[in-house]
Structure 1
Amino acid sequence: MGVGAVAGDVNRNDRSIVALVMLAHGMVHTYELSIPIFVAIWLGEFASIDLGLATVPVTTASLGVMTGLGFALFGLGALPGGILVDRVGSKRLIVACLLGMAGSFVLLALSPNLVVVALALVVWGAAASVYHPAGLRLISTGVEERGTGFAYHGIAGNLGIGFGPFLTALLLLFFDWHLVAGVLALPALVAAALATRANFEEQAAVAATDGGETGDTDDDSDTGGDGKAGAGVSSFAELVSQSKHLFAGGFALVFALVMFSGLYYRGVTTFLPDLLGSVIGIEPIPVSELLPAALASGSAGGAPTLDVELFVYAGLLTVGVFGQYVGGKLTDRIRTERGIVAGFGALAVIAVAFLPVASLGVGPLLAICALLGFFLFMVQPFYQATVAEYTPAGLRGLSYGFTYLGVFGVGALGGAIAGYILTVADSTALFVVLAGFATAATLLGVTLLRRRPTPA
């Protein structure tokens, strides 16, 4: 086979992989970030959570814990997902993820109370948890232009992040939240059907990107290399051994960094729609005011209102598309540690400035929201690429499993922490705590930058 044919095959392989992960990543975040929209509805619709032996009042704290169960599994399941993907491959897990998420939203649509809602969120978290180790492992071992692959992967995620809340908010103008949840189950079913038809080589880029070696920048050990690419771990003893190997080097700092990233991410997104409406004071607009006079005059007095804060929230997340693209492209051009320091440093400043700037008016509010959306997602390609640089190729699934255990598992506490702070204190205290999370991530990035030798 000639060089031209090989190049063509590689390009087709890259395109097939990127198309699949873009589709699946978009779906995962469509559902993830539609959940806070529902939280804003549940806060007004339900007064208590009946647990059988006890009844718990519905507050930001109790809903933070309830939604945190699903978000925690989203992260906690990433570790077994990472172990499994190294054994069975990415495609099967991605298809299973899509089917599981569809089923969870069908259950959500049928929920008569918040206990069943919590169960549906747990099912969603368990199904969605396997995606990131599966999808990111697939990019890191199958796509030659890794940084560009991460960029497009991130863009698709942010399209889902923006589209999910926007579509949910739009549908809730006219339909009950149960019906909206049922409608949202349909895209994942279609995506699963398309994913089953994808055809590619999962290990095509291991030799090209890792030079046939382990890819471990801190240790020349052969763990994970020479035939281990894709082999993963086969026993608990081997899991312990390989995990010790991962955490013996710089990956331990990366793991700590992504935990703070997850706490910031979940802490700021879970109650942001409610904060924009109740704290900053964005008032709902009757839909009739947006219609032509002829239509508005015939609208009923009980016509729906447009909850502007939900659309500001969706717009903020959509801006993250540009952050993902810029971050992904920069991972191929600068040291990833520098991007981490700059991105999390900016997030710390934004957290401190958010409420004072937002209170100045509509223009400053939209500007600070846009900055938050941009930097919140710009940092993601940087830490995703950093994981690949600090881990061996053969344990890439395990390493991304640990990564998203930190981002979404430990990070799920961010929602509960945010809910508790809003219950016992106020939004100012919440943003101070968020600034602390971002500052800690920045300092860890500085430590990585100083420890890693400059490439020759």
Structure 2
Amino acid sequence: MNRNDRSIVALVMLAHGMVHTYELSIPIFVSIWLTEFDVVNLGLTQLEVTAATLGLVVTAGYGLFGLGALPGGVLVDRIGSRRLISVCLFGMAGSFVLLGLSPNLLVVTLALLCWGAAASVYHPAGLALISKGVDERGTGFAYHGIAGNVGIGLGPLLTAVLLMFLDWTTVAMLLALPALGAAAYALRARFDETAAVDAGSGGSSKADAGVDSFAEFVSESKRLVAGGFVVVFLVVMSSGLYYRGVLTFLPDLLSEIDQFAAVPLATLLPAGVSDLLGVEAGSGRTLQPERYFYSGLLMVGVLGQYAGGKLTDRVPLEWGLVGAFSGLAVLAVLFLPVVNAGLVPLLAFGAVLGFSLFVIQPFYQATVAEYTPAGTRGLSYGFTYLGVFGVGALGGALAGAILTYATPAVLFTTLAGIAVAGALFGLYLARKRESPSAAEVASD
């Protein structure tokens, strides 16, 4: 890599890691908020804080994370990636500072909305920056994905470790510091955002193309729909709903089983270390095993991402989707029986679940490229993030409502149904692959 490539890749790695650090630390806080807050004061009335209430709160933030991807993609063409990434990082840092200052759930909601809006612009900005500015584009995308996976795994782990010694508000504010550091680097970084375009095509590449008006946005969107992208959108939407439905309340669900009973921290530390850290018997500081299970599950996802990427070159994409969704459906059905089978089966199950949650992502990402015309590829990925992160965010609200008014068994049955629907959409694509219309789209 040349100096320009290294500067860009360093920035996008920092930013991508930060986005997913915050995204997947939120479910750990959810289990705390369920006990921290009793009611939501709306002035004229008060609402009891339940899993359903928090499901809506988290869905609002996660929903903006997806909904902002489309306008974020348009903004990239107007103000440039570096500026937008800087705004993203400062916005996420400020959101977690606000979260740490939250006196009630209304302010928590506002903080999550601010985070979702700030984080939503990253993916179109970061991916556009790599595609236009990095000569060794494939290597850039690889490092970018690795950094995201590091954030996915280590972010929740860092949050869990800090929560052993500090209250959640302090932890939220401390988590803002890495994003502030990354934002400072973004302001100081100097690179050519279009170096790869200029070098490879004299500035006339498709990478320079963008949606220049609302009418063009509508016409290009219609082109996607006419080309059969609707079914692909249903695939990514199913993946997003399952992903959020499983992860949003997973730490809280696990905290209620005997295998993950809280352990007083004072009993785990030598006396000298306990005194140094101010952890005394009866202080209430505990180690929460379910948080580490959750973090470990997400770390295994790194292997799933890698395996999924390799398999997309060896397995027909449509049948890969069918297999991945079918596996997720089986895992949803098995979750509660495995929980009751003991700790060792549960640990093994968690590893398989983490692997399966992420192995599907390279398949649907490659499917988007396969079933969309090259000229609308950027817009198609904007809709992809809308489906995965925007519509998919409803999985959190769905999970919260089911856990409040029904049972975990109903939740995992529902998630199995969502996975079955995803498998059927994949099967439909497999059956239609050789049709004239599909061949036309694939070759466009």
Q: TM-score, normalised by structure 2?
A: 0.89
Measure, in 1, the Cα distance between the counterparts of 2:11 and 2:365.
18
Alpha carbons of 1:290 and 1:300: their partners in 2 closer, same or farther (altered >3 Å)?
closer
Match of 1:93 in 2: 84
In structure 2, C-alpha distance between the alignment counterparts of 1:402 and 1:166, rounded to whole Å: 31
Counterpart of 2:191? 199
Q: Does the alignment pair 1:423 with 2:404?
A: yes
Is the 8 Å Cα contact of residues 62 and 390 (structure 2) preserved in structure 1? yes
Segments of structure 2 that go 5 or more residues without pairing to the other structure are none
Of residues 94, 99, 112, the one that matches 1:108 is 99
Partner of 1:177: 168
Q: Note closer, same or farther for the CA distance 1:21–1:375 as it changes in structure 2 (3 Å cut).
A: farther
User: What is the match of residue 261 of structure 2?
Assistant: 283
Q: Secondary structure at the match of 1:291?
A: coil
Structure 1 segment 201-350 matched on structure 2, within 5 A: 201-202=193-194, 204=196, 228-279=206-257, 282-292=260-270, 299-350=280-331
Which residue of structure 2 aligns with residue 46 of structure 1? 37
Number of equivalent positions? 432
Specify the SS of the correspondent of 2:47: strand
Distance 1:242 1:296, change over 3 A: closer
Give the % identical residues: 66
The alpha-carbon deviation at position 245 of structure 1 amounts to: 1.1
Unaligned runs of 5+ in 1: 1-7, 213-224
What is the Cα deviation at residue 291 of structure 1? 1.9
1:344-365 Cα offsets, whole Å, 9 max, x none, are 2221111111111122111111
Amino acid at match of 1:181: A
> Do the aligned residues in 2 keep the contact of 1:109 with 1:182 (CA within 8 Å)?
yes
Distance 1:76 1:295, change over 3 A: closer
Preserved CA contact (<8 Å) 2:31 2:252: yes
Amino acid at match of 1:235: S
Rounded to whole Å, the distance in 2 between the matches of 1:171 and 1:185 is: 13
Secondary structure at the residue paired with 2:282? coil
Aligned-pair CA distance for 1:51: 1.1
Q: Note the C-alpha offset of 1:170.
A: 1.2
Aligned equivalents of 1:327, 1:411: Cα separation in 2: 20
Amino acid at match of 2:209: A
Change (3 A) 1:335 1:352: same
Greater mean deviation of Cα atoms: 133-142 or 370-379: 133-142
Paired with 2:30 and 2:412, the residues of 1 have a C-alpha distance of 20
Question: Please, which moves more after superposition, 282-291 or 98-107?
Answer: 282-291
Q: Is the 8 A contact 2:297 2:350 kept in 1?
A: yes
Deviation at 1:343?
A: 2.0
Residue deviations 1:99-155, cap 9 Å, x none? Answer: 110111111111111111100000000001111222334455666777765554333
1:124 maps to what in 2?
115
Q: Report the counterpart of residue 447 of structure 1 in structure 2.
A: 428
Check the 8 A contact 1:83/1:398 in 2, yes or no: no
Rounded to whole Å, the distance in 1 between the matches of 2:349 and 2:199 is 43
Output the CA distance in 2 between the equivalents of 1:278 and 1:159.
Answer: 28
Distance 1:190 1:49 in 2: 34
Residue-by-residue CA offset, 1:234-276 (whole Å, 9 max, x unaligned): 1111110111112221322221111111100111111000011
| Structure with the higher helix share, 1 or 2 | 2
Q: CA deviation at 1:394?
A: 4.8
Offset, 1:314: 0.9
TM-score (norm 1): 0.87
Aligned to 2:73: 82
Alignment check: 8 A CA contact 1:43 1:58 kept? yes
Is 153-162 or 194-203 further displaced after alignment?
Answer: 194-203
Counterpart Cα distance in 2 of 1:447 and 1:199 = 45
Aligned-partner residue type, residue 380 of structure 1: Q
Relative distance call for 1:376 and 1:350 in structure 2 (3 A) is: same
Q: What SS class does the counterpart of residue 204 from structure 1 fall into?
A: helix
The amino acid that maps onto 1:311 is Y
| C-alpha distance in structure 2 between counterparts of 1:84 and 1:35, whole Å | 27
Stretch moving more, 352-361 or 390-399:
390-399
Q: What's 1:406 paired with?
A: 387
- 1:60 paired with 2:51, answer yes
Secondary structure, counterpart of 1:191 in structure 2: helix
Aligned-partner SS, 2:211: coil
For residue 307 of structure 1, report the CA deviation from its aligned partner.
0.8
Contact 1:87–1:233 (8 Å) recurs in 2? no
Instruction: Give the corresponding residue for 1:387.
Output: 368
Report deviation, 1:439.
1.5
Name the amino acid aligned to 2:229.
Answer: F
Contact 1:316 1:369 in 2 (8 A): yes
Looking at structure 2, the residues matched to 206 and 265 of structure 1 have their Cα atoms a distance apart, in angstroms, of 39
Give 1:447's aligned amino acid. Y
Per-residue CA distance 1:275-327 (angstroms, 9 max, x = gap)? 11115652001112222366679933225110111111111111111111222
* Partner residue in 1 for 2:157: 166
Cα drift, residue 88 of structure 1: 3.9
Measured against aligned partners, the alpha-carbon deviations of 1:350-408 in whole angstroms (never above 9, x if no partner) come to 11111111221111111111111111112112222332333345544322221111111
1:26 aligned counterpart, secondary structure: helix
| Alpha-carbon distance in 2 for matches of 1:46, 1:430 | 24
Select between 78-87 and 343-352 the one with higher mean Cα deviation. Answer: 78-87
- 1:33 is paired with a residue of what secondary structure? helix
Considering only aligned residues, what root-mean-square deviation do their CA atoms show, in Å? Answer: 2.8
For the 8 Å contact 1:151–1:326, the answer to whether it is kept is no
2:17 to 23, 26, 35: 26
Q: Which of 415, 418, 425 is equivalent to 1:437?
A: 418
Amino acid at match of 1:97: C
For residues 303 and 342 of structure 2, the distance between their equivalents in structure 1, rounded to whole angstroms, comes to: 24
Contact 1:155 1:322 in 2 (8 A): no
1:355 and 2:336 correspond: yes
